[in-house]
């Protein structure tokens, strides 16, 4: 049976939650009295569909069903999670909980997207205070991993554990705060920077654009991978954190910020900032800026995935979670016993794989075939542990034929036929399909090598036996069209 969540308030934040749940297979029921809610949520969902699925290097679950409901009671009736993202007015939020709790299951998690209120403030006067937690996400909600989970002693430990697990299932990083505090954690830093920035603009020290450059050309890039303390630890060098502190501690006495005070929020200041922001970014529509932002975030998060660091570690953990239970997680003996090409890759084409021709770049086909080869190696026992033990396969030769185009977001699969596998030689034929269309083939000749000498050598008996089992299972398959062929000189 489908898992159901309710989204109460479908703006930019509620819509982001809806998209994240939907794309992870949940049925999503939306309640938002705004007549524009459907259109706005559709736009967020479009952005999410083009950017999120390609973050995974494994198949995503089928998308859930989205429905809009005129009554709050109907939307929340069967929900295991209710996400509240109504405007930041305490009384409105409390009223909303009263209405939600009148019909939602008592074991459902009610998460609030509030950035301003503490959970104890939200729980006050509720029928079941223990059901309400703060789950504060960051825009774009469908891409960024961080969600601040803030609870009170009124929350049951089991409910909190379930909330964490569901958030992790969405590929998020729930940061469970030790205790509640105004504005939670991250927004305190944002607020500090915002206040200082307002002073600098007001006093004519810098424009909004100059401030943005000061951030994204320097510490912004650092903070995408290590935070404040780890960055300073590295900067402190061999002398260590204590030395760094000794050096920079005295600066606290310097008049380096205006943060002993806050600027007055006059019309002039608003005009100044809005005008500078227009000059800086007005050449792009918000829709264009959103897509540029998502292209950038996907590219950077996938770069971190390669190193397995920060948000990239979260993406890797999510792949492992998504992969469990799919054909890609089948045990090697089961997968290898089938008399047909083996599924070795299933994924969406990510945003950062397309090129100036508007389609998946040719090199990304080899990325895909390379991942398919990795999975095949795993199936024959040449997995990460085997490689750490000092042996691996090196590709000696590759022949790719492009038969059709693929675009960002397309779901593609690779199935692999072993043409030969004995001793140090391995000859594979990958077919990449999109639905029923063959879009490319990759023929690969690999050699088993000793990673110390970098020379070919025989594989382990286990690898040899696994190749023999596949050879026998696939013995009846016809020789693939195009295998063994060369590029015909057209002259």
User: Among residues 124, 168, 392, 460, which is the contact residue for a second copy, using CB under 8 A?
Assistant: 392
Site for a second copy in 66-85 (CB under 8 A): none
Q: Whose Cβ is closer to a second copy: residue 21's or residue 173's?
A: 173
User: Among residues 91, 153, 242, 283, which is the contact residue for a second copy, using CB under 8 A?
Assistant: 242
Do β-strands 66-68 and 81-84 pair in parallel, antiparallel, or remain unpaired?
unpaired
**Site size for a second copy (CB under 8 A):** 157
Site for a second copy in 203-232 (CB under 8 A): 204-206, 208-231
Vertex 12 angle, CA 10 and 16, to 5°: 80
CB of 433 to a second copy, least distance (A): 18
CB atoms within 10 A of CB 147: 25
User: Among residues 49, 69, 399, 411, which is the contact residue for a second copy, using CB under 8 A?
Assistant: 399
CB of 260 to a second copy, least distance (A): 6
Residue 119: name the closest of 72, 84, 80, 143 by CA: 84
Q: What is the pattern of x (binds a second copy, CB under 8 A) and - over residues 403-422?
A: --x-------------xx-x
Residue 48: name the closest of 329, 445, 351, 340 by CA: 351
Q: Whose Cβ is closer to a second copy: residue 370's or residue 468's?
A: 370
Q: Where in 158-268 does DSSP place strands (E)?
A: 173-176
Q: Whose Cβ is closer to a second copy: residue 303's or residue 477's?
A: 303
Site for a second copy in 254-293 (CB under 8 A): 254-257, 259-263, 265, 270, 273-274, 276-278, 280-281, 286, 289-290, 292-293
DSSP string computed for 17-83: HHHHHHHTT-EEEEE---TTHHHHHHHHHHHHHHHSGGG-SSPPPPP--EEE-S-HHHHHTT-SEEE
Sign of CA dihedral 49, 36, 79, 27: negative
CB of 17 to a second copy, least distance (A): 15
Backbone angles phi, psi at 313, to 5 degrees: -65, -35
Q: Whose Cβ is closer to a second copy: residue 76's or residue 428's?
A: 428
Q: Whose Cβ is closer to a second copy: residue 104's or residue 200's?
A: 200
Identify whether the C-beta of residue 31 lies closer than 8 Å to the C-beta of residue 75: yes
Site for a second copy in 109-148 (CB under 8 A): 116, 138-139, 144-146, 148
Contacts of 469 (CB under 8 A, 6+ apart): 333, 336, 337
Site for a second copy in 328-357 (CB under 8 A): 352, 356-357
Among the listed ranges 52-60, 63-71, 317-325, 391-399, the one in contact with a second copy (CB under 8 A) is 391-399
Q: Whose Cβ is closer to a second copy: residue 74's or residue 213's?
A: 213
User: Among residues 92, 181, 324, 334, which is the contact residue for a second copy, using CB under 8 A?
Assistant: 181
Which secondary-structure segment (H or E) carries 484? none
Site for a second copy in 452-491 (CB under 8 A): 454, 483-491
Q: Whose Cβ is closer to a second copy: residue 120's or residue 395's?
A: 395
Query: For residue 361, what is the DSSP state?
Result: -
Q: Whose Cβ is closer to a second copy: residue 62's or residue 385's?
A: 385
CB of 53 to a second copy, least distance (A): 18
Do β-strands 27-31 and 391-402 pair in parallel, antiparallel, or remain unpaired?
unpaired
CB atoms within 10 A of CB 390: 11
User: Among residues 49, 427, 434, 469, which is the contact residue for a second copy, using CB under 8 A?
Assistant: 427
Contact between 194 and a second copy (CB under 8 A)? yes
Residue 156: name the closest of 180, 127, 122, 131 by CA: 131
Residue 23: name the closest of 59, 48, 4, 6 by CA: 48
CB of 172 to a second copy, least distance (A): 9
Contacts of 354 (CB under 8 A, 6+ apart): 360, 361, 407, 408
CB of 282 to a second copy, least distance (A): 9
β-pair partners for 444: 398, 428
Among the listed ranges 22-30, 195-203, 328-336, 407-415, the one in contact with a second copy (CB under 8 A) is 195-203
Backbone angles phi, psi at 75, to 5 degrees: -65, -40
Site for a second copy in 6-35 (CB under 8 A): 12
Site for a second copy in 156-175 (CB under 8 A): 173, 175
User: Among residues 323, 401, 411, 434, which is the contact residue for a second copy, using CB under 8 A?
Assistant: 401
């Amino acid at each position: 049976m489908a898992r159901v969540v309710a989204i109460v308030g479908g703006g930019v934040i509620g819509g982001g939650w809806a998209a994240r749940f939907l794309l992870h297979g949940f049925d999503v029921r939306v309640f938002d009295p705004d007549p524009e809610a459907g259109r706005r949520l559709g736009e967020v969902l479009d952005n999410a569909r083009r950017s999120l699925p390609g973050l995974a290097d494994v198949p995503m679950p089928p998308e859930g069903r989205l429905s809009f409901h005129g009554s709050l009671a109907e939307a929340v009736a069967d929900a295991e999670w209710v996400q509240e993202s109504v405007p930041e007015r305490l009384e409105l939020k409390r009223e909303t909980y009263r209405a939600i709790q009148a019909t939602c299951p008592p074991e459902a998690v009610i998460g609030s997207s509030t950035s301003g209120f503490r959970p104890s403030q939200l729980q006050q006067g509720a029928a079941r205070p223990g059901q309400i937690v703060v789950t504060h996400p960051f825009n774009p909600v469908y891409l960024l991993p961080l969600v601040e989970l803030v609870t009170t002693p009124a929350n049951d430990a089991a409910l909190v554990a379930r909330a964490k697990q569901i958030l992790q299932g969405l590929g998020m990083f729930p940061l469970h705060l030790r205790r509640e505090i105004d504005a939670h954690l991250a927004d305190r830093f944002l607020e500090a920077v915002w206040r200082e920035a307002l002073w600098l603009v007001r006093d004519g020290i810098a424009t909004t654009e100059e401030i943005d450059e000061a951030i994204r050309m320097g510490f912004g890039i650092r903070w995408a991978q290590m935070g404040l303390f780890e960055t300073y630890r590295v900067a402190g060098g061999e002398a260590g954190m204590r030395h760094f502190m000794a050096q920079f501690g005295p600066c606290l006495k310097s008049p380096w910020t205006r943060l002993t005070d806050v600027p007055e929020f006059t019309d002039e200041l608003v005009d100044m900032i809005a005008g500078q922001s227009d000059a800086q970014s007005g050449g792009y529509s918000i829709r264009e800026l959103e897509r540029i932002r998502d292209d950038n975030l996907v590219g950077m998060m996938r770069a971190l995935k390669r190193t397995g660091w920060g948000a990239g570690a979260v993406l890797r953990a999510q792949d492992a979670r998504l992969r469990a239970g799919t054909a890609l997680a089948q045990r090697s003996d089961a997968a290898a016993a089938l008399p047909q090409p083996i599924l070795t890759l299933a994924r969406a084409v990510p945003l950062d794989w397309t090129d100036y021709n508007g389609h998946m770049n040719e090199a990304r086909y080899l990325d895909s075939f390379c991942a398919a080869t990795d999975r095949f190696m795993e199936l024959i026992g040449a997995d990460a542990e085997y490689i750490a033990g000092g042996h691996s396969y090196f590709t000696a030769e590759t022949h790719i034929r492009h038969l059709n185009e693929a675009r960002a977001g397309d779901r593609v699969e690779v199935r692999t036929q072993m043409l030969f596998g004995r001793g140090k030689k391995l000859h594979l034929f990958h077919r990449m399909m999109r639905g029923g269309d063959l879009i490319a083939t990759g023929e690969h000749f690999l050699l088993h090598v000793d990673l110390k000498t970098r020379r070919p050598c025989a594989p382990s008996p286990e690898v040899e036996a696994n190749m023999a089992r596949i050879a026998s299972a696939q013995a009846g398959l016809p020789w693939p069209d195009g295998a063994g062929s060369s590029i015909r000189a057209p002259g």
